[in-house]
Structure 1
Amino acid sequence: MTQSDRARATLDRLTAIDWWDEDAAYAHAPSRSRLFREYLRRSALWAQAYQATDDWPFVDLAAHVDPSVQVDAELASQLDAFLEAGVGFVKAKALCRAALRWAALLDSSTVRLPSLPDPFEPLLRMFDRGAWCGLVIENRVADFFTLRVPFGRWQDHLGTNPVIPLERSALDAIDARAAASGKA
């Protein structure tokens, strides 16, 4: 990948999401809640590695890893225009900007990163499966249509084992099992 390939790919992913598809959000609530748990796990690992635990769970990791990294102005402008026109959730906007900045860091930084899983991939997959629809965050609890994910403390999420596989087939199977059991 050349410089800005990851950032361009991340922007393309974010702008392809239907941020108002409530049907998808409801149908995928079980997998989305688990993807959010995996995001909490990964963000805790990265926050610990870069002494960013005060900002956990919604950390602009690139700012902690290499504050000099900037998103290409054209890409940043395109994301901002899209977010202002199509995404009404303040926290989602901040996370999209952080994910794009992370991708820009991967494209351009010479910083040697620890061997940790991509911090934003679970979040991007969660967005792919229903964006922010049906997600309410209150009192450090994320509620996905009654499937609740308490934040707890960052230390509670430091496990080395993934919460969920990120493959689409595995995510679809989780949602299908929940629907069959009447828990979707």
Structure 2
Amino acid sequence: MTNGHGEQAASEAMERLCAVKWERDWGDVFGKSMSRRLLMREYLRRSALWAQAYSAESAWPFFDVTGYMDPEFKLSPNTAHKLEEFLRARMSEDVKVTCRGAVRLAELRLHNHAIRTLDLPDLYEPLIRLYERGGEFMVDNVGALDLTGVSFPPGSLQGNASYTPIVALHDTVLDALDIEGRVTFYAYDSDRGPVFRRLLPQGGGQRDEVFSGKLGWQPTTQLSTSDGDREYVRIYDQEAARIIEDAVLGVPRFAGPGIDQD
């Protein structure tokens, strides 16, 4: 049995999915390839945890978890009708099954106390964010995930389940990760800020920038200037995302000269 709050939550999920620009703007998608990749990796991590919790390992990574949680569950008729109308759109089956799962889970969890209190991260939110930042993804004929502009294998369920959280679902963090061109990130070490990036734009040249939580990306010469005792090390984008998140949230772990994080 569903209630009004559950149906409202499902309707809100439907509204977000219907607002996605499924006909992709290729330039926009390429410009957001890094945040989309990290969002997909965060979804793979979360879906591995949910699959283990509800014995859905054989369906991982793209599945509707509600069938494993409550086989008798049915959406309210109005929401079910809207969902099926939406799913008639042209999109891959993996995208359809996760969209269906997102709407069904939104309604199910708000009228089932055990589900609400289960200590698991929101399953489908990283994928909805990914869709909102450039539309669908595809699985190619060798099983790699094609996000347009970036492609990678999903890895194993066990491996993904063991990861720490990969990226914050925070628009400022996601926006700070994205830019067109080849990007490499640096820091004084992998656990301390600030984070630097070296951008090689498609038109040529090079640009170095440093991230400030208050000011965003700012030009810097520190990467190309000798700095005595300090040694810059290259870091992965997941590490850069965590440092950027701390800067955005004002976590006092930064150690960079001349960087105001207030």
If the TM-score is normalised by the length of the shorter chain, which range does it land in? 0.7 to 0.9
**TM-score by structure 2 length?**
0.63
Larger Rg over CA atoms = 2
Which stretch shows the higher mean deviation, 6-15 or 70-79? Answer: 70-79
For 2:146 and 2:19, locate their aligned partners in 1 and report how far apart those are by CA, in whole Å: 24
**1:36, 1:122 within 8 Å by CA — same for their partners in 2?**
yes
**1:69, 1:104 within 8 Å by CA — same for their partners in 2?**
no
Deviations 1:1-36, CA, capped at 9 Å, x for gaps: 823121111011111111012333222111111100
Greater relative CO, 1 or 2 (CA 8 Å, sep 6+): 1
| C-alpha distance 126-182 of structure 1, shift in aligned 2 (>3 A) | farther
Q: One-letter code of the match for 1:7?
A: A
- SS of the counterpart of 2:166? coil
Q: CA deviation at 1:179?
A: 6.2
Identity of aligned residues (%): 33
Considering fraction of residues, name the structure with more strand: 2
For 1:34 and 1:12, locate their aligned partners in 2 and report how far apart those are by CA, in whole Å: 24
Considering fraction of residues, name the structure with more helix: 1
2:167 aligned partner: 164
1:29 aligned partner: 33
**2:20, 2:132 within 8 Å by CA — same for their partners in 1?**
yes
For 1:108 and 1:178, locate their aligned partners in 2 and report how far apart those are by CA, in whole Å: 46
For 1:81 and 1:31, locate their aligned partners in 2 and report how far apart those are by CA, in whole Å: 29
Q: CA deviation at 1:46?
A: 0.6
- SS of the counterpart of 1:59? coil
Structure 1: gaps of 5 or more residues: none
Q: 1:13 aligned to 13, 16, 34, which one?
A: 16
**2:30, 2:149 within 8 Å by CA — same for their partners in 1?**
no
Q: 2:57 aligned to 53, 56, 67, which one?
A: 53
**TM-score by structure 1 length?**
0.88
RMSD between aligned alpha carbons? 2.2
2:139 aligned partner: 137
- SS of the counterpart of 1:2? helix
**1:30, 1:178 within 8 Å by CA — same for their partners in 2?**
no
1:69 aligned partner: 73
2:104 aligned partner: 101
**2:29, 2:149 within 8 Å by CA — same for their partners in 1?**
no
